[in-house]
Structure formats: structure tokens, C-alpha cells
Amino acid sequence: MRTLDARKAFILQAVVQDYVATAEPVGSETVVERYHLRVSSATVRNEMAEMAEMGYLRQPHVSAGRVPSDLGYRYYVDHLVKPVRADSLLPPQQVSLFSPANPEAGELERLLETTCRLLAESTRYASVATAPETDMVSIHHILLSQPAPDKVLLVVVASSGQVEHRLIALLDRLTEPQMAVMDRILREHYAGRSLRELLSVDKPAVPVDSPVAETVWNLVLQAVEDCIESLSQQEVFLEGIQHIIGQPEFRQVERLYSVISVLEHPQVLMRLLQRVAASGTVQVIIGEENPLPEMRELSFVASSYRIGDRIAGTVSVLGPTRMHYEVAMSAVEYMAQALSRVLTQLSVS
């Protein structure tokens, strides 16, 4: 990537900002008038022609002005973007949702849904978040109760705040000693161990002299395995598809269809999001940089969030390459930090 001199950099910044705002090609006269340049429009036109040869601008039509190329956006993001204050994007009452004192903060699914909703609302782009990976999540609590004579309730609480439960139908009521034995074995074997580990370990057996019947124990173990399997599925949360549909770039049905076909199956995005998570910083993937061909009309701004000092998952926004990168980058970084803070505090509480 060739470095631009001060005037070319200023013109590129002006073209990006105007094109993002209007979705219309930007002419040299517009740049001179709107930004009060002390040079002629012919000089700006020559500079823009040179920048097109360098690959930073392109001309959609012969008589049209210029628009940024993917390389132009990359230069803008790397050298010219001026992040906005993220707290100005969200009202204070929304920020308070990320306090550990908020009862909903302990519910991971609700928290990630809230994160996606706020990102979509504040940026006006679609947003995607992934739940923590299985090696980051352990069993926090596991317990049995008997709400009815012929039923046992199993509750499994993960360190991430996720909860799974199963109601197990039995033929006969269990005695208190039988319940106590099963509860003790489950806690000793499962509590504190990561989901990834539990997916591959052997199931615990009841002692030979135990009062628990093997058929009952197998039913309970199957319920536990079902809960662990559900908790280990790394969920993908998606909000704001309407913001993609509303962009002028996607008025052509064929361009919109390829994007929507991927967004309808957000697990497809996992490969891209896993690549982002490995970096640990805010990442911007622009147009042709996207490894998914269907998504090369879009840009991603994403960051990982943490539980303690370990990367857990990702939050991101996606929109057209004609994106308000400064808003998207600030919002994503702010939300990732807020999510990291509350999940870390909850994990040690």
C-alpha cells in the first residue's frame, strides 16, 4: 500500500465521508466547495485521477465522480479514521444493562441478545455475536430435585450464566438417600469442569452398594449429557438484518440474495468470527478481504470479548463497504469491553 501525501489523504478522507453520507459518487467540485480547499477543482480532479491509478478510488461511470475502492477504505481505516466517543452512541440507561447488579446480566443469552440489539441500534448495521467457546465455560452448579413423586428435575448452571434443565419421568418416587447419592456423584464428577473436557470423559458410575437403580441412574446421566451437549453448542446471535436490506447497494435482488442467504445461516459466519477472535483486538475486514465470497459486498468490524484473561467469543457489526467505520469501530470496541467486564465479574462471584 503506497503512502499518500497530505493533500491526497485529505481528498480521500473527504470522498469517503461524502460517499458514506450520500451513497453518490463525489466530484472534484464538491470536494473543493464543501471542504473549502484553496486549490482549483481541476487540481483536485488530477489528484483524484492519480489516486484512481494507485487503486484508492474508482469511477463507476465515465461521467461520474469518484467513490472509494476497498483499498481506499483500508487506507482510511488504517490511517485517517477518527473514532467517536462510544458512550455518546448509547443512552445511559442502556449502558446500565452491563452492570453485574442488573438481574439480567447473569443470563448469558439475554446479555448477548442485548449486546446485538444495542449494536444494531447504535450503528444502524446488522450485528453478530458468538457465545463463549466450550473450553471457556465450565459447570458452575448441578443439582437434582423431586418436584413430583414420579419426576426428577435436573438443573445445570454454566459459569457463563447459561442454564439447562431436564424433567425426568420415573416410575416410582425416589427416597432421600437415593437422591443424596446421585446429587453427590453428579457434583463431584461435573462441577468445576469445562464443557470441552466433559464432552470426552467417561460417565460416572454409582457404587456397587448404592441404593440407586441402574435404570434410574442411566436416565439421569442421559439428561446430564443432553444438557452438556446443548451448552456446548456455540450459539450465534444476529440482529438488524433490516439495516442491510435498507442499504441502496442492495436494491438489486441478486446482490441482496447472496448476502441474506448467509445471514439466514449465521453459523456460516463462524469461520470468519473465529479468525477475528484469535487477534484479541478490533478487526476491520473490508469487501474483497472477506474469505466468504458471498460477503464481499460487505465489511465486518469485530472484536473479541474475554472472561478473565482468556478470549471467549466475538461481537461484530456488518454492513456495506460504504460504512461509518468510525462509529462501527467505537461501538464494537465499547460493547466488547462492557461484555468482558460484566462476564469476568460474574465468573468470579
Are 22 and 120 contained in the same domain? Answer: no
Q: Which amino acid is at 156?
A: V
Q: What is the pLDDT of residues 130-187, one digit of tens each?
A: 887 767 788 989 999 988 888 999 999 887 667 889 999 988 888 888 999 999 999 9
Query: What's the mean pLDDT when you consider all of the chain?
Result: 86
Average pLDDT, stretch 56-83?
91
Q: What is the CATH number of the domain that holds 258?
A: 3.30.450.40
**Residue 67 domain boundaries:** 6-80
For residue 24, give the C-alpha cell: 453518490
The SS3 assignment for 191 reads: coil
The yes-or-no verdict on residue 104 having pLDDT over 60 is no
Contacts 24+ apart (CB under 8 A), 290-293: 292/262, 292/268
Q: What is the CATH number of the domain that holds 197?
A: 3.30.390.10
Which domain-ending residue is among 171, 203, 232? 232
Are 125 and 241 contained in the same domain? Answer: yes
User: How far apart are the C-alpha atoms of 72 and 1, rounded to whole Å?
Assistant: 10
DSSP single-letter state for residue 85: P
Does pTM surpass 0.85?
A: no
The yes-or-no verdict on residue 8 having pLDDT over 80 is yes
Average pLDDT, stretch 49-69?
91
Which domain-ending residue is among 39, 60, 80? 80
Are 126 and 242 contained in the same domain? Answer: yes
Number of domains in the chain: 3
Are 121 and 141 contained in the same domain? Answer: no
Are 163 and 21 contained in the same domain? Answer: no
Are 166 and 265 contained in the same domain? Answer: no
Which stretch of 19-33, 72-86, 280-294 has the lowest confidence by average pLDDT?
280-294
User: Would residue 267 count as lying in a domain?
Assistant: yes
Are 287 and 338 contained in the same domain? Answer: yes
Are 209 and 183 contained in the same domain? Answer: yes
User: Would residue 1 count as lying in a domain?
Assistant: no
